[in-house]
Amino acid sequence: MDVVRLIETAMEMVGPGRGILAADESTGTIAKRLASIGAENTEENRRAWRQLLFTTEGFGEFISGVILFDETIRQSADDGRSFVEVIESEDVIPGIKVDKSTNPLANSPDEKITDGLDGLRGRLNEYRELGARFTKWRGVITIGDSIPTQYCIDANAHALARYAALSQEADLIPIVEPEVLMDGDHDIEACFDVTEATLNRVFAELDSQGVILEGMVLKPNMVLSGKDAADRASPEEVAEATVTAFMRTVPAAVPGIAFLSGGQSDVEATVNLNAMNELVDHGPWELTFSYGRGLQASPLAVWGGEEANVEAAKAAFYKRAKLTAAARKGEYSPEMED
């Protein structure tokens, strides 16, 4: 394990003014996005969409890393270059989703556990050979009637830490993603309590399994009201609650927090990130982004699956990345949308 390299790469991933593009949707998840524009879920359409993103000239000004899916890391652009080579040509770091998605948790079927630890060491070595320099694993926590249980939090925290330790063993930076879902009508206080409990358990497991905190990136949810809540919290309330929860739970050794957009619209995710970075004291870490929908929704709608719209969609992606990077510095304003 090259500890110095791990730390340097993690710091580069959360470096000033840039964030991470999550383009690691599974075949099933990207099917929903393609369906929203009337495009068929074929390998070629998936490749064409991701090629559009990765070949946007200058996107590396705002994006430090791209999370890929297993299919995507093996694909190439029209000019014959692998997608890894295309991404690296923009001074962007390629990474890979390595979990095998979620399934019902045994003895608690209303909750989820993430699969994929079996055979992970071998997959990590293969992905490193394919050009990946970091990895990502997502654990899901749901707020509902009598959930989450401590059992669910413990099981997901343990899996996240095992994954992180194996990634660092393979000289790959782990992005640790414990996501408290915004599905439901709960208030921001409920999200705060569950987020605090989850992060406390995750970092206890990371410590017990010897994960080097300086060589990882945390990808958590923001502390939000449920998307169906009657009176959703303001961006200022989200910022205060999120930073407070993280001050209580996340060690200063972690170089950066790359928030997921987690079902928020692209504008909402941008506004909330900006509000956090506007706080006088927003903690010892870099507060950045690792957005999927929050970066892709606008350009996807512009593209519509049509070759004639590729350049306009690239412009929309560049703009969304630029505005999100501005929020990462606390310099975003709604007027910039126009």
In whole angstroms, give the CA distance from residue 202 to residue 162: 11
Q: Which of 155, 264, 141 is nearest to 193 (CA)?
A: 141
Q: Which residues pair with 287 in a beta bridge?
A: 257
In whole angstroms, give the CA distance from residue 180 to residue 192: 10
Q: Which of 111, 273, 268 is nearest to 179 (CA)?
A: 111
* Torsion angle of C-alpha atoms 37, 40, 43, 48, degrees rounded to 10: -40
> Which one is catalytic: 25, 177, 196, 286?
177
Is 240 a residue of the active site? no
| Alpha-carbon distances, residue 267 vs 146, 238, 320 (angstroms) | 32, 14, 9
Question: Could you tell me if residue 58 is left (phi over 0), alpha (psi between -120 and 50 degrees) or otherwise beta?
Answer: left
Handedness of CA 186, 191, 193, 197 (dihedral sign): positive
Is 112 a residue of the active site? no
Residue 8 host element (H or E): helix 3-13
CB-side neighbour CA atoms (13 Å) of 216: 32
Residue 223 host element (H or E): none
Q: Which of 300, 97, 87, 326 is nearest to 334 (CA)?
A: 326
Q: Is 328 helix (H, G, I), strand (E, B) or coil?
A: helix
- Give catalytic residues, as residue numbers: 177, 219
